[in-house]
């Protein structure tokens, strides 16, 4: 294997690592970062959602990537459940770490979740940030054509604009590299897989489906969300919608 991929793997081996910011006594980055200053929306308790009673083994067996969705909206409680399932906080050690519904290297949890809401009851269509520590949403972008522009930036994948909601995971590089240096970049991509799998299984349990999206124009997607593409950048997306009846 030649090229950039090989160089990335080689240069992030332990033998090349310098002391991390944590080892050098640099102050730890915050556990959560607001990406905008929009109005805040309270979310229902995720326990309010009545799931289908699907067992874990059945969810594993039934899980498929779903690209075509029914017209039904997600309720706000269902969205809250999906957000909690994929990034919900179960415990906070103030200014040190969070423990969540998914694993993360060193409990760094270096993602901010952005939801592109297309059909969610009680939400005006647009982009919202999930404030995981507070279990609330903060509005980011109310542009009515955001879903269309995001679908175009995802190389024309129509499920982005046809979904009830699309989840966008933004990596906060410094939150991970503070502890692990350049090797932390590897862990960001590993952690994204943990998060998305939880979303798949949670969606299955409420009669919905998800489709992970790794093919996108990085620069366009980052610009749409006002990200610099270096310290904060989109690492993964997934569209979600209710299954069509019949």
At 18-36, the pLDDT tens digits run: 999 999 999 999 999 999 9
Cα distance between residue 210 and residue 165, in whole Å: 10
pTM above 0.85, yes or no: yes
* Bridge partners (DSSP) listed for residue 65: 210
Domains with residue ranges and CATH for the chain: 4-28+40-242 (3.40.109.10)
Query: What pLDDT is recorded for position 50?
Result: 76
Cα distance between residue 129 and residue 124, in whole Å: 14
Cα distance between residue 87 and residue 112, in whole Å: 9
Query: What pLDDT is recorded for position 93?
Result: 96
Average pLDDT over residues 203-224: 97
pLDDT in tens, 124-173: 999 999 999 999 999 998 887 899 999 999 999 999 999 999 999 999 99
Reading phi first (left if > 0) and then psi (alpha if -120 to 50, else beta), residue 140 is in alpha
């Amino acid at each position: 294997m030649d090229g950039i991929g090989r160089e990335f793997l080689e240069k992030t081996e332990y033998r090349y690592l310098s002391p991390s910011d944590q080892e050098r006594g640099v102050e730890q980055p915050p556990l959560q970062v607001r990406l905008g200053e929009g109005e805040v929306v309270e979310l229902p308790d995720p326990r309010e959602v009545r799931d289908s009673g699907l067992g874990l083994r059945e969810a594993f067996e039934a899980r498929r990537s779903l690209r075509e969705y029914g017209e039904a909206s997600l309720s706000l409680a269902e969205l809250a459940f999906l957000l909690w399932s994929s990034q919900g906080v179960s415990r906070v050690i103030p200014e040190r770490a969070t423990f969540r519904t998914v694993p993360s290297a060193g409990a760094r949890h270096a993602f901010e979740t952005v939801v592109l809401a297309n059909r969610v009851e009680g939400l005006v269509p647009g982009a919202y940030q999930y404030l995981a520590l507070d279990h609330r949403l903060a509005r980011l972008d109310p542009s009515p054509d955001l879903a269309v522009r995001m679908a175009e930036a995802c190389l024309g994948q129509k499920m982005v604009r046809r979904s009830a909601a699309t989840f966008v995971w933004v990596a906060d590089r410094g939150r991970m590299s503070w502890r692990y240096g350049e090797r932390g970049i590897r862990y960001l991509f590993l952690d994204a897989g943990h998060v998305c799998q939880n979303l798949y299984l949670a969606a299955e349990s409420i009669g919905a489906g998800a489709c992970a999206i790794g093919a996108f124009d990085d620069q366009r997607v980052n610009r749409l969300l006002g990200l610099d593409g270096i310290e904060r950048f989109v690492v993964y997306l997934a569209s979600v919608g209710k299954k069509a009846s019949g």
